[in-house]
């Protein structure tokens, strides 16, 4: 090979290298902020109104993150609040879709699928509630919800200190979370010097509460605390009025707007501990912009919105620190959500519900 040939080849190589570098620089860079999020929600069935509203909140958050250049792949699965379907959805999301993280509505959905998420090392975030049972389910179960124990204690304090009740009858559905709330109420109310004169547990499909109501009247309770799944509160209110039960009635947070409408004047004056969001106006505006109408429940919408934002924030921390997303989730401390979330190096960022009263067919906040 002559010197001239070597020089020509060298020039060609340099040109090709320079072209390659120039071409590489012109290529759009993939956004390092991306995450695949799954959701398991009751999008149909008896709790569809709740699941759909949570899902809409999640979709708002996805849009907002996308506008900020954060790529979010969002996959929602409908479990119809049927735990067999919940398990199927969990298997699909973790093994087929290979999501980075998943959120679901309530703790009862998390319990039967906790092993799936722990085995897959995929975080599962519970949006609505938090309790000691969830805290025993493993390293990959998280919550940003309201404390079940805290709800029972809050109502015990209100019943004794604000309403002045001394003899309360409890009526609850046969339900794990209801049992947690009942136990917390009984312990706190007793510590305050109150007496729980009866505890009745009934099936969630019960529609006739007249025998229980009659029993409460005969026991001369000066207050009643119900922990029901919908639509039982509306039925209980109507039947209580028909039978002349006139003592203060308190309820847990599952009571729906539709039950309040259904019961009408029969439910006026009821008290309840209920969820809240600290920035309802901002989220309501975003909801109206996306869906062309106001939310049926801004609180439920906030569950989906906050879950997606929190998990996306965890994804960002995971990439920045080169750690697994579960570890990153424990480091999340953000006010980008509708209500600030601080995991504080734990799996739980718990809140305590507030006390509301039904006045003129609406929930009215009476105690923070």
pLDDT digits (tens, 9 = 90+) for 181-193: 999 999 999 999 9
Written as one string, the DSSP assignment of 58-86 is: HHHHHHHHHHTT-EEEEEEEE-TT-HHHH
Query: pLDDT at position 136, please?
Result: 96
Instruction: Walk me through the domains of the chain, giving residue ranges and CATH numbers.
Output: 34-147+278-342 (3.40.50.2300), 149-276+354-367 (3.40.50.2300)
3-class DSSP state for residue 243?
coil
Q: What gap in Å lies between CA 94 and CA 232, rounded to an integer?
A: 35
H or E segment at 249?
strand 249-251
Average pLDDT over the chain, rounded to whole? 91
Query: What is the CB neighbour count within 10 angstroms for residue 351?
Result: 20
Q: Three-state DSSP class for 190? A: helix
41-94 residue pLDDT tens: 999 998 899 999 999 999 999 999 999 999 999 999 999 999 999 999 999 999
Half-sphere exposure of 226 (CA within 13 A, CB side): 28
Instruction: Specify the pairing of strand 146-147 against strand 195-202.
Output: unpaired
Residue 247, SS3 per DSSP? coil
Helix (H) or strand (E) holding 358: strand 354-359
Proportion of the chain in helix, strand, coil states, percent, rounded to 5: 50, 20, 30
Question: Is pLDDT at 5 greater than 60 in this prediction?
Answer: no
Reading the block at residue 347, the tokens are: 């799996």
d(CA 196, CA 46): 32
- Does residue 326 contact residue 78 with C-beta atoms inside 8 Å? no
* Total Cβ atoms within 10 A of residue 25: 8
How many CB atoms neighbour CB 166 within 10 A?
A: 16
Distance of CA 221 to the CA centre of its chain: 34
How far, in Å, CA of 168 to CA of 221, rounded? 5
Give the pLDDT band (50/70/90) at residue 20: very low
| Closest to 174 in 3D by CA, of 145, 195, 205, 151 | 205
The answer to pTM > 0.85 is yes
């Amino acid at each position: 090979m002559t010197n001239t040939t070597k020089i020509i080849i060298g020039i060609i190589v340099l040109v090709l290298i320079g072209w390659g570098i120039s071409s590489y620089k012109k290529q759009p860079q993939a956004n390092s902020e991306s995450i695949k999020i799954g959701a398991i929600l009751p999008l149909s069935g008896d709790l569809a109104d709740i699941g759909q509203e949570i899902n809409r909140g999640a979709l708002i958050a996805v849009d907002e993150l996308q506008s900020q250049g954060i790529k979010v792949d969002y996959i929602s699965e409908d479990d119809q609040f049927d735990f067999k379907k919940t398990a199927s959805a969990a298997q699909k999301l973790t093994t087929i879709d290979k999501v980075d993280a998943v959120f679901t509505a309530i703790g009862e959905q998390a319990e039967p699928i906790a092993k799936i998420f722990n085995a897959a090392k995929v975080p599962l975030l519970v949006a609505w509630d938090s309790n000691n049972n969830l805290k025993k389910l493993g390293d990959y179960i998280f919550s940003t919800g309201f404390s079940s124990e805290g709800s029972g204690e809050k109502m015990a304090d209100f019943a004794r200190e604000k309403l002045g009740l001394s003899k309360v009858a409890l009526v609850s559905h046969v339900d794990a979370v209801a049992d947690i709330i009942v136990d917390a109420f009984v312990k706190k109310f007793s510590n305050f010097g109150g007496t729980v004169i009866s505890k009745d547990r009934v099936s969630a499909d019960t529609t006739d509460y007249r025998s229980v109501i009659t029993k409460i009247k005969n026991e001369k309770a000066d207050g009643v605390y119900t922990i029901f799944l919908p639509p039982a509160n509306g039925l209980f209110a109507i039947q209580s009025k028909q039978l002349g039960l006139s003592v203060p009635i308190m309820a847990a947070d599952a009571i729906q707007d539709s039950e309040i409408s259904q019961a009408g004047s029969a439910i006026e004056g009821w008290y309840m501990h209920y969820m809240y969001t600290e920035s309802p106006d901002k989220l309501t505006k975003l909801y109206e912009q996306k869906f062309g109408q106001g939310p049926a429940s801004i609180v439920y919408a906030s569950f989906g919105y906050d879950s997606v934002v929190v998990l996306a924030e965890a994804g960002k921390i995971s990439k920045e620190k080169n750690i697994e997303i579960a570890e990153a989730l424990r480091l999340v401390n953000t006010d980008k959500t509708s209500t600030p979330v601080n995991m504080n190096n734990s799996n739980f960022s718990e809140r305590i519900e507030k006390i509301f009263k039904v006045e003129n067919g609406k929930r009215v906040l009476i105690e923070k």
